[in-house]
Chains A and B, each alone.
Chain A
Amino acid sequence: MGRPLTFMTESQSSPADARAARAARLEAARSELVAATVRGQGGRHAMRQYSHRMDALVQQLFADAGAVSQPVAVFALGGYGRRELCLHSDIDVLVLFAGAIVPPDERFLHAFLNPLWDLGLTVGHHVREVHEGATLEADNPEFLLALTDGRAVVGDATLLDQFVGASHVARTATRTLDALKALIAERHARFNETLYQLEPDVKDAPGGLRDLFGAQTIAKLTDPALLAQGGSGARELDDAEDFMLRVRSILHLEAKRHHNVLSHELQERAAEYLGYPGATPRQRVERFMSDYFRHARAIDRSLRWALRAAPLPLDRNLVRAADGVRFIDPRAAADRPETWLGLFQAALDGACAVSDDALSSVRQHAGKYRPEDFFQTPEQRDALLRFLTPRPGLYARLSEMHDSGLLGQMVPEFKAITCRVVRDFYHKYTVDEHTLLTIRNLERLTEPGIGPERERYARLLAELPSPELLVLALLFHDVGKWKDEDHASESTRMAQQMFERLELDDEARGVVEFLVREHLKMSLVAFRRDTEDPEIVRQFAELVAVEERLKMLCLLTLADVEAVSRETLTPWKEELLWRLYVDTYNHLTLSYGDEVIERSQSVHSDLIDGRPEDVSAEEITGFLEGLPRRYLQLFSRDAVYRHVRLSRRLTPDMVQAWMERTDAAWELTVLTHDQPFLFSNISGVLSSFGMDILRGFAFTKPDGLVVDMFHFTDEERFLELNAGGDGKVIEVLEDVIRGRVDLAARLTGREQGAFRRRLPGFAPVIHADNDSSRRYTIVEIVAENALGLLYRMSRVMSEYGCDVDLVLIATEGRRAIDVFHLTKDGRKLTPSQQQTLTGNLHRVLEGRP
């Protein structure tokens, strides 16, 4: 914050008097600088003095310029900003307004700037509004460079912070640096890349003042200590600067204008002013010029060093240097623990380490802070989850965080197992290191060239929508080992503390809690139970309930067993684990249709006990009867009650449909009665709006009631750009289901487009079997995802007279994995019917007529 400034106003006197007074003040200031120059002392000190006088003049003009409608401030830029004003230097200023400029502000601008011009000064003025900081990176490069030396002269000094604060700091810094480098290259080319000019330009020539400012700017933007670490060193550079400024002052004085070329004639004058000894002018010039080149070389060395060694700006207070990512200003960073994760994230993004000095700064200050200090906002909490996404380097960064004490401060539960030794016959590492190694094992699955055995697990990892939750679970899976008793329960309890701190949503809590609590189950079943017994697989499938949790638990088990010791995870165990995964996956996706909710079962007693007043126990039981048990795992309690209510008055021709937004995607739920082509009609309508269906499911009860749910992304931003767009989609859906709109016509153009975009090298897989389910023929299709794929496939099935009773939809990267449970005339398909159907499906998927 700038201090309030008070001014003597000149407005009481006449305008002519005021002008005369200002001219006199400027003249006095210039005389002072001239006198110093003549003494050979027109260097840094004299220029500071002159700049100071100029500040006073600017402050006076600001005070006299009249009223403004809003906060405003004047900032000195470039050489004036550095307080290195020479006799005929331009006065570069930025007039910055807090908001939009209105007529009184324009009058103020004229009243402020005109007198400067009247004084004969060359004014380079920039006028901006604070909000323009948001587009600062696109501003002109000379302005960006001048701004790096910006300092407040008068007015509300905080405006510059707001202006720069609104910008993307790293991008602006990078663009400024790029512009600077380009300008340096261009300027050097004009001088044939050599500083040894016999008549050098002290400002523009290589080794001149612009090179010096260039080196200083690079340091300012990347590492303030840069110029002390290499090149000519800070002291030599200081001397060079003062020398060059003294010479420049002489040139301005002698040429009586903005002139910077040290011609032969002016070399003699400069040697004289600076008091070089020698019997003849030639001897004095030779000595003087020898000094000039010595200083120019010093500047040149430092600039080259800065260009070579400057770290790369990454964020507001972060750069990437040769030894890793570090804070530009460690002292400022020490007070802002919420920015520390950014240090490690930047290293992760840049595939490099965190520098030793940044780590020691973290180590020194970490103990001062509480866990919540590191994650103060929802964005900062989300950033932690993003950070935990498995990728190369995560283990190394977490190890740095652990070693510097940061991990234990951020996650105090983890502190409890630091260097914790549990003596058993198989663990080879302390509990904390074992935990971090599990994350390393997971991270390795994201690296190329891991071999076919691991490739299958790597694919599972790539399929997870939220792999960061798996890492979070790994981080917590053994924290309960600080106690000697049942550690899985204790780990779960401790994880719950973290859920509160991180304000994790219910779904994420559910997943992480499940993984932590059950983290030993899959290895127990895979390695110590008879997995050829279908009952064992069924029980395990019941535990995991859905494919995503199965995949996560499988990967957790793999990573956990491998982190016990180098020898623990044998190819034999890997195979056992994989087989349990496949059997369970098949059970979940192919056999779930056989497990329907029966009236007598008590699986839904929680639903009945917790029901709202308007829903009766009988209604719930009646609604659930005949639905696959999986239904209960996919819908929340509130969703079930909603379905019960909506199903009450559902007549056969009625469609109940609604859409909800979930993060970046949407969900469409449809409750209706079954009819031919229903599923293909719903999926086709979504495709006709350009929606990409990612996952979903369709359930049909024996009495014909259908519950479908589609999770999709709004690829063409129809819902985003059209208010009430969801209503429109549902309207079209109803029209299509009732046969009022021809869906095929709506889709024609789009489907052709989708076929044209097809990528090569991906043959569809279609598999039909009558063995996995007692009631249905299962058709499993793995094909390249494309707009309208579900529509086309299900349409083929309906056209063949099949009832599409149950559907599971999944998308994994480019692949769509869809499982249809079908019957034809109430029975499974015969082998020849299966053959005909798969033939038809192949034809459609391959785009054949």
Chain B
Amino acid sequence: MKLIKSIVRPNKVDEVKAALEKLQISGMTVTEVRGHGKQKGHTAIYRGQEYNVSLLPKMEIEVVVPDSMADDAIKAIIEAARTGEIGDGRVFVLPVAESYKIRTGERQVD
């Protein structure tokens, strides 16, 4: 199993969700996060005064998929979240050793 953790633009969440659902991936965790990538935010000006907006609002979407689906899922996320501009976000892929369903205690390995 793989944990796919994507940091995307807030307005891209719906599209990413739709793309993953198309792949029959329905379970996901969505979190409001703030951060910056390479561009380290920028300086905004309001009424003549500069203020730093280094941490940009982003959305984090986490899904756990079987290894066999990981590539498709990553591809779908990237396609759905891309605008081509700086600040489109990142996708991280982590191995998952095992997982358990809390309600039933059922163990899942890939």
**Chain A residues in 8 Å Cβ range of B87:** 532
Interface locus among A66-74, A93-101, A570-578: A570-578
**Chain A residues in 8 Å Cβ range of B48:** 765-767, 780-782
Min C-beta distance of A789 to chain B, whole Å:
15
Interchain CB contact under 8 A, B44 and A767:
no
- Contact of A331 with B by CB under 8 A: no
Interface locus among B9-17, B18-26, B63-71, B91-99: B9-17
Interchain CB contact under 8 A, A528 and B32:
no
**Chain A residues in 8 Å Cβ range of B85:** 532-533
Interface locus among A18-26, A379-387, A579-587: A579-587
List residues of B (54-110) whose CB comes within 8 Å of A's CBs.
57, 83, 85, 87
Min C-beta distance of A457 to chain B, whole Å:
13
- Contact of B38 with A by CB under 8 A: no
Contact residue among B47, B53, B83 (Cβ-Cβ distance under 8 Å from A579):
B53
- Contact of A769 with B by CB under 8 A: yes
- Contact of B34 with A by CB under 8 A: yes
Assembled-state Cα–Cα distance A528/B10 (Å):
6
- Contact of A843 with B by CB under 8 A: no
Interchain CB contact under 8 A, A767 and B57:
no
Min C-beta distance of A834 to chain B, whole Å:
13
Assembled-state Cα–Cα distance A780/B46 (Å):
10
Contact residue among A533, A570, A765, A769 (Cβ-Cβ distance under 8 Å from B49):
A765
Interchain CB contact under 8 A, A529 and B11:
yes
Min C-beta distance of B98 to chain A, whole Å:
32
Chain B interface residue bracket vs A: 20 to 34
Given the known inter-chain contacts A586-B45, A765-B47, please indicate yes or no for A575 contacting B11, CB distance below 8 A.
no
**Chain A residues in 8 Å Cβ range of B32:** 570, 572-573
Interchain CB contact under 8 A, B44 and A782:
no
- Contact of A530 with B by CB under 8 A: yes
Contact residue among B14, B47, B53 (Cβ-Cβ distance under 8 Å from A782):
B47
Assembled-state Cα–Cα distance A780/B48 (Å):
5
**Chain B residues in 8 Å Cβ range of A765:** 47-49
Given the known inter-chain contacts A572-B34, A573-B32, please indicate yes or no for A530 contacting B49, CB distance below 8 A.
no
Min C-beta distance of B56 to chain A, whole Å:
8
Assembled-state Cα–Cα distance A579/B85 (Å):
18
Number of A-B contacts (CB under 8 A): 52
Given the known inter-chain contacts A530-B83, A532-B87, A576-B57, please indicate yes or no for A780 contacting B34, CB distance below 8 A.
no
Assembled-state Cα–Cα distance A401/B97 (Å):
61
Given the known inter-chain contacts A532-B87, A572-B32, A575-B57, please indicate yes or no for A767 contacting B10, CB distance below 8 A.
no
Contact residue among A576, A582, A781, A817 (Cβ-Cβ distance under 8 Å from B10):
A576
- Contact of A7 with B by CB under 8 A: no
Assembled-state Cα–Cα distance A530/B34 (Å):
15
- Contact of A369 with B by CB under 8 A: no
Residue of A nearest to B9 (CB): A530
**Chain A residues in 8 Å Cβ range of B47:** 765, 780, 782, 817
Assembled-state Cα–Cα distance A767/B34 (Å):
28
- Contact of A527 with B by CB under 8 A: yes
Min C-beta distance of A672 to chain B, whole Å:
29
Assembled-state Cα–Cα distance A765/B87 (Å):
31
Assembled-state Cα–Cα distance A585/B45 (Å):
10
Residue of A nearest to B50 (CB): A767
**Chain A residues in 8 Å Cβ range of B49:** 765, 767, 782
List residues of A (752-784) whose CB comes within 8 Å of B's CBs.
765-767, 769, 780-782
Interchain CB contact under 8 A, B14 and A582:
no
For B9, B10, B85, which residue has the most chain A Cβ atoms within 10 angstroms? B10
**Chain B residues in 8 Å Cβ range of A529:** 11
List residues of A (545-589) whose CB comes within 8 Å of B's CBs.
570, 572-573, 575-576, 579, 582-583, 585-586
Interchain CB contact under 8 A, A528 and B53:
no
**Chain B residues in 8 Å Cβ range of A817:** 47
A residues contacting B by CB (< 8 A) are: 527-533, 570, 572-573, 575-576, 579, 582-583, 585-586, 765-767, 769, 780-782, 817
A-B complex: 6 closest residue pairs judged by Cβ atoms: A767-B48, A572-B32, A780-B48, A765-B48, A530-B11, A582-B46
27 intermolecular pairs with C-beta atoms under 8 Å apart: A528-B10, A528-B11, A530-B9, A530-B83, A532-B85, A533-B83, A572-B32, A572-B33, A572-B34, A573-B32, A575-B34, A575-B57, A576-B10, A576-B57, A579-B57, A582-B44, A582-B46, A585-B46, A586-B45, A765-B47, A767-B48, A767-B50, A769-B45, A780-B47, A782-B47, A782-B48, A817-B47
Instruction: A572-B33, A575-B57 are known; give 6 further A-B pairs, CB within 8 A.
Output: A532-B87, A533-B83, A533-B85, A573-B32, A583-B44, A782-B48
